[in-house]
Structure 1
Amino acid sequence: MDSVREPMNNNSENWLDSKFWHACAGGMVQMPHINSKVFYFPQGHAECAHGKVDFGNSRIPPLILSRISAIRYMADRETDEVYAKIRLIPIRENAFDLEDGFVENNVTVENPEKPTSFAKTLTQSDANNGGGFSVPRYCAETIFPRLDYSAEPPVQTILAKDVHGEIWKFRHIYRGTPRRHLLTTGWSNFVNQKKLVAGDSIVFFRAESGDLCVGIRRAKRGIGGGPEYPSGWNPAAEILALIMGVILAFQGRMAIT
């Protein structure tokens, strides 16, 4: 959740394809479905703030039963890390029935085919300025456009779209002894612009349209490597304003985002 009663159709922010978003987020991340019943925990949300959230004398309920009415899949403009905005509608507690199914809430959810994607944790060699990226064979043969192995050497230019819609150009070549797939020209620029380091992961995703997409999973740096989140992320004042807005929404049964 990001702000109180913010329209979900705000065109100033780009939405991500949900399958691409999940590929970037990783297999451990699961999102609830539209119309699911969930509990919102205001105090738990406050603990995510950078700084103390002072509720004063306000009475803060420990949890608020809500229904998910909309989900927007997003990516941070600075770090490319994915996140989601979820719109919740508070509901009466007596509307909750375990027999209905807490998570699914009688919503039939299909099991879509697993999207075609591949993730690799960058080695020191991959992340070196001026170096290339060693592409695993599975990724090169399954995700990338087909390479003409009859050419000498087999080489092609591939275009990949990032989470913001920007197109990146890479030279893909198959060479060496033993031969291996490499991204050469264009890779160093990508590493520098995205500020990638060893331990970060690169995600390649093949969209249903056939477009090649590229995403990033940042390595956690909360222990001995600086702050885990970007500077200014989740300031306490904004969290407090959001939570108080949630309480008002709960009392007035208005949608919250």
Structure 2
Amino acid sequence: MPHRLTPHQIELLRWLSDGCPNRDWPDHSHKITIRALQSRGLATISRKHKTWTVAITDRGRYYLDHGRYPPAIANHATAADLPTMPLGRGQRRADHPVPDTTARAMQRVERRLKQPVKYTARTIQETFMRYKVVVTRVQVAERFVRATSEEDAAAKVQEEVERPYGYLGSWKTTGTELDVIEAEQNTVIKPTSLADDGPLLLSLKDAGKALGLSYSTLYQMVNHGDIDHVLLGTRKYISREHLVEFINRNTHKGYYRAR
């Protein structure tokens, strides 16, 4: 059975019943209290265009008139008596109960499983598959705090959660799901054969194709002195002899540790 409301909660409930007249609040504790009223089904909170709107429910008016919860809540409450969420992005029906964190995570996993895996086909010489995997992990942590009320305890824990590098306690993983949502084919550069009657000097682009390396990789190797090159004006070329010499110099058998 839900706990009885505190005098501060009853005061805020009457403020909602009066239509939320203008009032100077000393701090933001009233927002946390209204959240607690929403969890009991006594108030509703909605947001549209960065504007928050609160209102009292029929259950809240019943509590103000009789000083107790309606019979459906005072006794064993059913799922239909629990507070519900308004329609949002997920188009949830208003008569469905608000799910907890674990249930929402499982619902996201179920929706992803229903979506077909997307494949992107490309014309390539050699292919490898790159998979996009989404990991969903549900974690639970317990924290004991000293507080004067439920709202005060929730505010202290919320402050620790929002604090950068805050320590809440040891987290326990209650569930982990792995979903493959996309598979993509990647292009692998394949070396091209050199013709015997070709030019003696090759540009960095042609030399990279012959070695199976990208232009940027070969350009860095030339600047670092890993492979000899010929400089004509401002352009750099690599001779066939230097290509063969580079391959022979870096050919090893068995285990080899680069220096």
What is the TM-score normalised by the length of structure 1? Answer: 0.19
Which of the two has higher C-alpha Rg? 2
Which gives a bigger RCO, structure 1 or 2 (Cα 8 Å, sep 6+)?
Answer: 1
Q: Per residue, is there more helix in 1 or in 2? A: 2
What is the TM-score normalised by the length of structure 2? Answer: 0.19
